Every structure is written in structure tokens, then in C-alpha cells.
Amino acid sequence: MKTNLAVERYTKALFQIAENKNLSDSALVELEALSAFFSKNSRAFALFDSPVINKSEKRALASKIFESNPESLVKKFLLVLIEKNRTELWPSISKHFSNLLNERKGLVEATIVAARSLSENIREKIRKALEARTRKTVIYKTRVEPDLIGGIQLRLGHLLIDGTLRTKLNELKRELCTMHS
């Protein structure tokens, strides 16, 4: 729980500074690029997060990564995380920052998961229904998972709406098992 609170506090601080300097969009691009770099190069992130590597070496590595943009707000933020020994928070910060920026812009991210590919017409109907419900502009990703059997699953932030046949069959199975027990 303390980690989530720390992620929230650090991210809000970065977001407020970025907003004040009109750098929110560019900061998000840099955060996502650095997160992608760390996910592709887990050893690089391990160096930042390692208690064995001293802070000056971590600062030097951050400077090397941001050598094309030495005044980067994200670089300065990473240096703060290094100084405060909070680099373990990094993986969650980029996503949280994106959520804050989307919230400010009136956007919400959704994931539509279906057993088979959905037509553009159906995806648009779902998007419009979600926009009517949330009163926000919906940005969505789609994914196909054949083991859902049928129906769709919607994830909107922390909300999960599961209308899949797999879930309905599992619920029916549980009901039948409790009836015969």
C-alpha cells in the first residue's frame, strides 16, 4: 500500500510540474520511451534499482540515456528517484502519469477483448456506448482471445465488464455444483 501511495505522490508531483511548464505531452512521450527501453533492457533497469550500484554511477547512466536532451524534465525526475532510493517505483509511474494526463484531457482508455475479431461497426458501437456512459472520449485497444468462446470483455480503468460465454458457463457450473452439494 505504501508503494502505491508513493507512486501516486511522485507521479502527481511530476505531473504538476509538467503541467506548469506546458510539458505534459512531451514528458509522457519520454516516460513511455524510457519505460519501453527498460522493459527491453531489464539489465539497465536492474542497474538503476540495484542497491549495489552507487548513486553517482546511476546519475551517470541517466545522463548517458538523456545525452540528447540533458535538460529533460523526465531526466531530472529520474535523478530525484535515484537520490531518494525510489527507482523501484519507475514501472508504475509512466502508466499513472498517462492516466492523469488522459483524465485532464477528458479521455479514458478501454480494452475490448473478444473471442474473435470484431468488425469496425461493432467496435464503434461499443466505443459510443462507453462514451455515453463515461461522458469522456474513449481510446480503445482490441484483443482476440479465442478461449473466451463468445461475447466480449470490456476493461475501463479498474472496471471490468465480462459478458463472455466462458464466464457465463463457469457461473452456471458453480451454480449447478452448489445445487448438488
Predicted TM-score of the model (pTM): 0.77
Is 12 in the same domain as 88? yes
CATH code of residue 27: 1.10.520.20
Mean pLDDT score of the chain: 93
Do 7 and 91 lie in one domain? The reply is yes
Please give the pLDDT value at position 179. Answer: 85
Residues 89 and 15 reside in one and the same domain: yes
For residue 93, give the amino acid letter.
Answer: I
Same domain, 122 and 78: no
Residue partners of 137: CB distance under 8 A and separation at least 6 = 105, 106, 107, 108, 131
pLDDT on residue 44: 87
CA distance 53 to 48: 8
44-82 confidence digits (pLDDT tens):
899 888 999 999 999 999 999 999 999 999 999 999 999
Question: Contact 150/115 with Cβ under 8 angstroms?
Answer: yes
Domain shared by 128 and 73, yes or no: no
Helix (H) or strand (E) holding 153: strand 151-156
Same domain, 66 and 44: yes
Structural domain total, the chain: 2
The radius of gyration computed from the CA coordinates of the chain, to the nearest angstrom, equals 21
Distance between CA atoms of 124 and 47, rounded to whole angstroms?
44
Residue 2: pLDDT over 80: no
**Domain hosting residue 73, numbered range:** 2-102
Only one residue has cell 504538476, namely: 16
pLDDT at 125: 96
pLDDT band at 180 (very low <50, low <70, confident <90, very high): confident
In the listed set 69, 102, 135, which residue is the last one of a domain according to the structure?
Answer: 102
Average pLDDT over residues 114-135: 95
Residues 30 and 71 in one domain: yes
